[in-house]
Amino acid sequence: MQTSGPPSPQPSGDIDEDAVDRKVWWHIIPFVVILLVIAILDRVNIGYAALTMNADLGIDPAFFGFLSGIFFVSYVICEVPSNQLLVRTGARVWLTRIMISWGVITLLIAFVQTPVQLAVLRFLLGAAEAGFTPGIMLYLTFWFRKNRISQALSVFFVAIPLAMVIASPVSTFILSHAAWAGLASWRWLFVLEGVPAIIFGALILVVLQDSPSNATWLNGRERSWLAGRLDEERVKKETPRGIPFRELVATPGVLLLCTSGFIVGLFLTSLLFWIPQIVNSSGLSGSIETTGLLVMVPYTLSVIVMYLWSRRSDRLGERRWHIALPFLAAAVFLVLLAIPHGSLAGFIFLSGAIASCYAAYAPFFVLVMEGFAPGVRAAGVALVNAVASVGSFAGPVLLGLVGGNISSPGTAVLFLILGIAITACAILVVRNVPGMGDHPKI
């Protein structure tokens, strides 16, 4: 495993490192955050549409869980090859292809007439979006040095709970007010949230550059200085055309990283799809719009905790404990959810578990990226994300099978098992992932 040491010494000359970092930050991060917000909106808007769509199409909880999860079947199949292609074709071209194709498929979902048609398009949506998130993660390593990457990733990943903060009021407003031209409001939800993917997909070609060497908004010395401190050229030169399975399996700690990603993906993603229905049926909400406001609570908390905790991880240069401690907190909340409780207490415990898992998100994926050599980094990051996506398939399906609410005995057992599993991952991350944060300053 590689260590996250200090940045290389500054070359001769008067390069202002902070000024270069600010230029890179403001040119890239706000735009890629918007891209991920759009991605999450188009991935989870089915959860809000379900508030009225399920009755129209005759979809029961078990089949809705399947519809939510089938996205990740094709996503997993295409994930690693997609990241390999991104390295070879260039990030701008490949990310543009990804966004425009998923935007078109989202628009088509607005016109489905049967649950089977919806399932087919959800499967195609996963294939279209595969490689987007790990592709952006890899792309950020082409621009940010090791002492900056966790903060860059934390703000990027903030887009996941931020998307839910935005989706909640926007989606429920559309469901409550949009019923034009004879189309049901849930159909307009897919139309209005699919168009931005096409527009911003095209803008990628204008806004982003493939690497610092192409950045006209940096001067020549700044481009050379920044490129000399990144692994971008090594990643591009050393990434093989095929998938390096042998090197991936031989990477220390890869099995634990994949297992941790699977468990967190199972929990967090199942909630992305199910939480509107969970809140709507909890007794805490009296209308669709109130449901949207309540769903904002855990994700607003997640945005704040995620950003502050990731900045702390960067400041201390430590990853393992910044993963383990939130994991343990999430485990406590999950165990509390497994104990009989009232609706308000359950909502508080659920919010705590969600925020705790998101706090570990950026340090976890920094650990993943730092753990793979440049030549296998594209495939390694995609592999861990793909395994997490297997959990993302299993989570919505399992929650659907146990009824889609947090008060059923099946859900209690599921949360208890998850709490135990996350605790085990926290312990093993501290003890068995070599080379990262051996002397934490917690």
233 in Cβ contact with 374 (< 8 Å): no
Specify which of 131-140, 180-189, 323-332, 333-342 reaches the highest per-range mean pLDDT: 323-332
Q: Count CB-CB contacts under 10 A for residue 315.
A: 12
Domain boundaries of the chain, sorted by first residue: 21-432
Q: What is the mean pLDDT of residues 75-92?
A: 84
Where does the pLDDT of residue 54 fall: very low under 50, low under 70, confident under 90, or very high at 90 and above? very high
Distance between CA atoms of residues 381 and 79, nearest Å: 10
CA distance 54 to 236: 46
Cβ of 82: how many Cβ atoms within 10 Å? 24
CB 40 within 8 A of CB 230: no
235 against 251, higher pLDDT: 251
Dist. CA 357–CA 354, nearest whole Å: 5
Residue with the two structure tokens 């000399």: 228
- pLDDT number for residue 232: 54
Whether 58 has a pLDDT exceeding 90, the answer reads: yes
Q: Which CATH superfamily is domain 21-432 in?
A: MFS general substrate transporter like domains (1.20.1250.20)
- Position 241 scores a pLDDT of 57
Give the Cα separation of 67 and 63 in Å (integer). 6
pLDDT higher at 150 or 357: 357
> How many of the other CB atoms lie within 10 Å of CB of 237?
10
Say which residues have a Cβ less than 8 Å from residue 237's Cβ, sequence separation at least 6. none
Q: Is 2 left (phi over 0), alpha (psi -120 to 50) or beta?
A: beta
Q: Of 206-215, 379-388, 428-437, where does mean pLDDT reach its minimum?
A: 428-437
Which of 76-90, 115-129, 260-274 is modeled with the greatest confidence? 115-129
Angle CA 374–379–382, to nearest 5? 120
pLDDT at residue 120 in the model: 96
pLDDT given for residue 200 in this prediction: 96
Rounded mean pLDDT of 434-440?
A: 42
Judged against a pLDDT cut of 60, whether residue 277 lies above it is answered with: yes
* Predicted local confidence at residue 433, as pLDDT: 57
- Of 29-33, 99-103, 233-237, the one with minimum mean pLDDT is 233-237
Mean pLDDT, residues 161-165 taken together:
86
- pLDDT at position 235 is 57
Any idea which residue has 């955050």 for tokens?
Answer: 33
Contact (CB, 8 A) for 132 and 98: yes
pLDDT of residue 231: 57
3-class state of residue 392 by DSSP: helix
Instruction: Inform me whether the pLDDT recorded for 109 exceeds 60.
Output: yes
pLDDT at 244: 67
CB neighbour burial string for 98-108, b if at least 16 within 10 angstroms, e if fewer: bbbbbbbbbbb
Q: What pLDDT is attached to residue 439?
A: 38
pLDDT in tens, 212-226: 888 888 888 888 888
Centroid of chain to Cα 362? 10
Quote the DSSP letter at residue 212. G
The percent of residues in the chain predicted with pLDDT above 70, rounded, is 89
Burial of 11 (0-12, 13-18, 19+ CB in 10 A): exposed
Please give the Cα distance from 74 to 239 (Å, whole number).
23
> Could you tell me if 284 and 294 are in contact, meaning their C-beta atoms sit under 8 angstroms apart?
yes
SS3 for 224? helix
More confident residue, 325 or 179: 325
Token pair 């917000």 is at which residue? 37
Residue 9's pLDDT is what? 42
Q: List helix spans (H) across 239-319.
A: 245-250, 254-280, 288-316
Instruction: Please provide the average confidence, as pLDDT, over all residues in the chain.
Output: 83
Question: What is the widest separation between alpha-carbon atoms in the chain?
Answer: 69
Is the pLDDT at 1 greater than 50? The verdict is: no
Higher-confidence residue of 191 and 231: namely 191
Instruction: Name the pLDDT band for 6 (thresholds 50, 70, 90).
Output: very low
pLDDT for 417-432, tens place per residue?
A: 999 999 999 998 888 6
Confidence of residue 436 (pLDDT cuts 50, 70, 90): very low
Cα separation values, 211 from 17, 168, 372, Å = 17, 35, 20
Taking the CA atoms of residue 308, residue 310, residue 313 and residue 319 in that order, the dihedral angle to the nearest 10 degrees is: 140
